Chains A and B, each alone.
Chain A
Amino acid sequence: DVKVTQSSRYLVKRTGEKVFLECVQDMDHENMFWYRQDPGLGLRLIYFSYDVKMKEKGDIPEGYSVSREKKERFSLILESASTNQTSMYLCASSLSGGRVMGETQYFGPGTRLLVL
């Protein structure tokens, strides 16, 4: 079974702090994704990566950056946390690195981030 783990389930940070959220997958997947989930809005893509050191912006990249130095690990960085970044953050991965349409994504358990 694919396993996607996230570094924290719950996190409380102060406004202006730099925040690191880490995601690790153990199935050699090429693609990794960071989403945020807010009530009434559904999941929205922040960034995704299709290979080591490769990244593309999703729908809401402002205020975030990402790092993928190793294939199994994809980090989301909030450079200077703000209260409007309080949310549930979900990481996901999928198998193919090519332009494959319609792959199953495997999700981590999520991190609930509260920015005070």
Chain B
Amino acid sequence: KNEVEQSPQNLTAQEGEFITINCSYSVGISALHWLQQHPGGGIVSLFMLSSGKKKHGRLIATINIQEKHSSLHITASHPRDSAVYICAVNSGGYQKVTFGTGTKLQVIP
């Protein structure tokens, strides 16, 4: 079993829909990251969080430390949100980061 599991693996949504991507982890962590990877490869860090909730524009990330679970929400989705979203956790000390396999999101106009 992977230390970081994401669901769903693939997601297709209509423009304007509310989207939720889930991440569960099995290890103790110091921080959790949500990353976005567009076609072509470049990865951008969206959020880093260790408790509670963070919001940036239409993106919201939440984490429940007790349940070892995080969600990434996208409100009013847009085709430009189409990308792979990756959950990653810091655990085990000294910059060790474990990555999920990603959720591929396609938003259709």
User: Out of A48, A90, A103, A105, which one reaches B41, CB within 8 Å?
Assistant: A90
The stretch among A37-45, A60-68, A71-79 that forms the contact with chain B is A37-45
User: Contacting B40 at CB < 8 Å: which of A42, A104, A109?
Assistant: A109
Residue of B2, B93, B97, B102 near A45 (CB, 8 A) is B97
Are B42 and A99 in touch, CB under 8 angstroms? no
Given the interface contacts A40-B101, A42-B99, A90-B43, does A102 sit within 8 Å of B90 by beta carbon?
A: yes
Chain B interface residue count: which class?
20 to 34
Interface segment, one of B10-18, B44-52, B53-61, B73-81: B44-52
Please measure, in the bound complex, the distance between the C-alpha atom of A90 and the C-alpha atom of B44, giving whole angstroms. 12
Minimum distance in angstroms from B23 CB to a CB of chain A: 12
Interface of A is mostly: strand
* Contact residues of A between 50 and 94, Cβ < 8 Å to B: 50, 88, 90, 92, 94
Cβ A43 vs Cβ B99 within 8 A: yes
B43 and A48 contacting across the interface, CB-CB below 8 Å: no
Residue A13 lies at the interface, judged by CB distance under 8 Å to chain B: no
Of the residues B45, B94, B100, contact of A105 by C-beta under 8 Å: B45
- In the complex, chain B residues 58-109 whose Cβ is within 8 Å of any chain A Cβ: 86, 88, 90, 93-97, 99-102
Give the A-binding residues of B (Cβ under 8 A): 2, 4, 30-31, 33, 35, 40-45, 48, 50, 86, 88, 90, 93-97, 99-102
